[in-house]
Amino acid sequence: MYYYPYSNMQTNRWHRNTPTNSADSYIRLFHASPNAPAVDVYVNGNPVAKNLKFKDFSQYLPVSAGNYKVEIYPTGRRENPILATDVYIPKGTIFNIAAIGDYPETSLYYIPEPTKAQSFGRPCIRFVHLSASAPRVDIKLSDGRKLFSDIGYKDITDYVCVPTGTYSFNVTPVGSNDVVLTIPNLKLEPNTYYTIYAVGKPGSSQPLQAVVAKEPR
């Protein structure tokens, strides 16, 4: 089971409390806490995302470098935040900021993206392990070839670039051939980055599953 979101750039901007130059970075918010409710996200008191459900991404948000106050509330509420923390955004960067962990022990995790498109014709893909209860895993192609090895919770692999085409991936615990997750028939386009996120909680109502995110440049 997997989910494939696609988000375009939008013009909403994170606002700092002090004057800044124009936005030169981008942020995308990702709800990856399997038992947390749908949420609203506020930055410096301003709403930037509404009703984000588990596995949802926001659109990319332009942002200037600096420090921000991030508050995450259950949708429709403005008291008792799920999370309130400070976030620093460096200049000239692109980040996914994921809410991870088993609620109420929710935290933010920063996942950088490349800032420039590659131009040699092939798609590039990586794997990010965001399931706190899942074991360390290997990621294999459907023919058994291993693409990523020994990936644990909060690990972010390097990108691997492959020929354009359609691929199926199997996720197995390290040292085992038992398939715990399959990502079937994923079409990878040239000159494009992708991240496969493993999310969920094995044995729960939100079991281990994959979210495939395209990273347009």
Assess whether pLDDT exceeds 70 at residue 20: no
Confidence of residue 53 (pLDDT cuts 50, 70, 90): very high
Determine if the peptide bond prior to 173 is cis (ω within 30°): no
Assess whether pLDDT exceeds 70 at residue 18: no
Which of these ranges, 2-6, 7-11, 120-124, has the smallest mean pLDDT? 7-11
Hey, what CATH topology would domain 124-215 get?
Immunoglobulin-like (2.60.40)
**Whole-number pLDDT of residue 117:** 73
- Closest by Cα among 8, 4, 5 to 216: 8
- More confident site: 12 or 31: 31
- More confident site: 10 or 151: 151
What is the C-alpha to C-alpha distance for residues 99 and 130, in angstroms, rounded to an integer?
Answer: 10
Assess whether pLDDT exceeds 50 at residue 6: no
The amino acid present at 107, given as its one-letter code, is S
Q: Where in the chain is the domain with CATH 2.60.40.1120?
A: 2-113
Assess whether pLDDT exceeds 80 at residue 92: yes
Q: Where in the chain is the domain with CATH 2.60.40.2890?
A: 124-215
Assess whether pLDDT exceeds 80 at residue 52: yes
Which of these ranges, 17-21, 54-58, 59-63, has the smallest mean pLDDT? 17-21
Assess whether pLDDT exceeds 60 at residue 178: yes
Hey, what CATH topology would domain 2-113 get?
Immunoglobulin-like (2.60.40)
Question: Which tokens is 99 given?
Answer: 């809410």
CA angle 189, 198, 190 (to 5 degrees): 10
Contact criterion met (CB below 8 Å) for 125 and 188: yes
Contact criterion met (CB below 8 Å) for 162 and 192: no
- List the beta strands (DSSP E) in 60-164: 61-63, 66-74, 83-89, 94-100, 107-113, 124-129, 137-141, 146-151, 160-161
What is the C-alpha to C-alpha distance for residues 175 and 170, in angstroms, rounded to an integer?
Answer: 14
Task: For residue 32, give the 3-state DSSP assignment.
Answer: coil
**Whole-number pLDDT of residue 79:** 95
Question: Which tokens is 96 given?
Answer: 């996914």
| Average pLDDT of the chain to the nearest whole number | 90
Its pTM stands at 0.90
What are the distances in angstroms from CA 49 to CA 41, 135, 199?
A: 5, 31, 20
